[in-house]
Amino acid sequence: MKTEGMNTGHDWQELQETNHGFIVLDSNDVIVSCNNQAQKMLSSSRFYSKNDALLPLGCFWSEAEQRIYSVAEFRRIVGKSITLTFMPTQSESYKIKVQVETFQLLGQHFCSLLIQEACPTPSDYVESYLRDSRQSLSMAQMLRTDLQQSKLALHYQPQINVSSNQLYGVEVLARWHNEELGHVAPDEFIALAENFGFIAELDLWVLRGACRQLAAWRKKNINVPLIAVNFSPLSFSCPSLKNEIQTILEQNSLMATCLVLEVTESKKIKPSDPFVDVVSELHSIGVTISLDDFGTGYSNLKRLLKFPVSQLKLDRAFVSALQNKLSVELSYMVLSISKKIGAVAIAEGVETQQQLSYLKAIGYDVIQGYLFSPPLSTQSFESWFLNETLMSEK
């Protein structure tokens, strides 16, 4: 059964790092896809289910064809549990309870199974894993519902040019408070949106809200030069991204030059991905590209040569550890690289006067952090802006 063209932006390699098998069955319980671990398990073992699922060994897709079907791409119909009996070749059989989710994709019904590799007593681990999986799915569904109903909030953190003591721009940050879950940390809900395939939807929602707010501020003579919006690398697989961004800017009568997209390089990005090409297209229309968390994670100096970067952001981890000699050297290195490529260096996470003094001394002009202001609601930011304007006029 072919399901070409349904790339969610997910990489099956992520599932190879665990010993869990992932299988997708069609409406006749015939495998249409599975990951490498499941292939190994099925090649050396036999599965039976009370539904008499057919598990032919000759129907596996190649790794290049495999896809994970996500919340963004199917409408879930019902979830239920069944019991599979796993029969290893070298030991006695035992039963494993697994979660089964049925869904509809382009009019065709599928169900996905998560199964655990054979081990003598797997039940506790499997139940724990499935419990976590169900919790993640439930949270992802809550997030997407709240997103579609615009129940998330936007906060704004000022970025200050410490040379001129003027507002350089603001970073726009999403906040999620759910009626059932309470406050959910940004790192947690952003990961949910990435893992369940609707991160582009979230990123564009933030961008729409940020542009509407910037336009409203300008009508009130609140002069915010730049708005910086975080975009996941996975969002750049959206083929209509450039057009979506241009439309949002035009709807709010904004120039592309007022927008900064903060992106973080990721090991999820492969050379064949459209990431660099899309970023280059956006840069060509005037959008400023900022490389976030530079110096950590997957920052790639070789790729930086091909990357139209106008800003480099020194990660807060280095700022908070400036008493450490290596952090001092790395902060200076980021500044040096930014100057060589003609980019603005921004230090984020600045919380103390000592950190500010050091960063100013070595040449950082733009600073962001709690020393100046935490992320603020719309009303609080307007009060902050008015107060800062009055102070600068004295």
State in words which class domain 152-393 has.
Answer: alpha beta
Which of 69-73, 140-144, 171-175, 310-314 shows the lowest per-residue confidence on average (mean pLDDT)?
69-73
Sequence-ordered strand ranges (E) for 259-392: 259-263, 288-294, 311-314, 344-348, 366-368
pLDDT tier for residue 164 given thresholds of 50, 70 and 90? very high
For the chain, give the mean pLDDT.
73
Is the pLDDT higher at 114 or at 65? 114
* Concatenated DSSP letters of 65-109: T-----GGG-EEEEEEEEEEEEE-SSS--EEEEEEEEEEEETTEE
pLDDT tier for residue 173 given thresholds of 50, 70 and 90? very high
Is the pLDDT higher at 145 or at 131? 145
Distance of CA 338 to the CA centre of its chain: 25
pLDDT of residue 184: 97
Which of 13-27, 54-68, 201-215 shows the lowest per-residue confidence on average (mean pLDDT)?
54-68
What radius of gyration, in Å, describes the C-alpha atoms of the chain? 24
pLDDT of residue 14: 40
* Concatenated DSSP letters of 173-188: EEEEEETTTEEE-HHH
**Exposure of 211 by Cβ count < 10 A (0-12 exposed, 13-18 middle, 19+ buried)?**
buried
Q: Please write the tens of the pLDDT for every residue from 301-357.
A: 666 667 788 999 998 888 888 888 888 888 898 899 999 989 999 999 999 999 999
Query: Is residue 335 within 8 Å of residue 362, measured between CB atoms?
Result: yes
Both structure tokens of 360:
């100013």
Query: Is residue 80 within 8 Å of residue 97, measured between CB atoms?
Result: no
Contacts of 172 (CB under 8 A, 6+ apart): 154, 155, 156, 206, 209, 210, 227, 228, 229, 230
Q: Say yes or no to pLDDT of 11 above 80.
A: no
Contacts of 54 (CB under 8 A, 6+ apart): 28, 29, 30, 31
Which of 246-250, 273-277, 283-287, 368-372 shows the lowest per-residue confidence on average (mean pLDDT)?
273-277
Q: Say yes or no to pLDDT of 246 above 80.
A: yes
**Exposure of 256 by Cβ count < 10 A (0-12 exposed, 13-18 middle, 19+ buried)?**
middle
* pTM higher than 0.85: no
pLDDT of residue 117: 42
At 126 the three-state DSSP class reads helix
Element (H, E) at 136: helix 123-148
Mean pLDDT for 167-186 is 97
Is the pLDDT higher at 128 or at 8? 128
Which of 64-78, 112-126, 267-281, 377-391 shows the lowest per-residue confidence on average (mean pLDDT)?
64-78
**Exposure of 187 by Cβ count < 10 A (0-12 exposed, 13-18 middle, 19+ buried)?**
exposed
Which of 109-113, 228-232, 288-292, 382-386 shows the lowest per-residue confidence on average (mean pLDDT)?
109-113
Nearest-CA neighbor of 28 among 57, 59, 67, 54? Answer: 54
pLDDT tier for residue 270 given thresholds of 50, 70 and 90? low
Share of the chain above pLDDT 90, in %: 41
Domain range list for the chain: 13-130, 152-393
pLDDT tier for residue 271 given thresholds of 50, 70 and 90? low
Q: Please write the tens of the pLDDT for every residue from 211-238.
A: 999 999 999 999 999 999 999 988 887 7
Nearest-CA neighbor of 272 among 68, 4, 3, 7? Answer: 7
CATH of 13-130, one of 1.10.1740, 3.40.50, 1.10.3470, 3.30.450: 3.30.450
Mean pLDDT for 51-77 is 37
Contacts of 299 (CB under 8 A, 6+ apart): 265, 291, 293
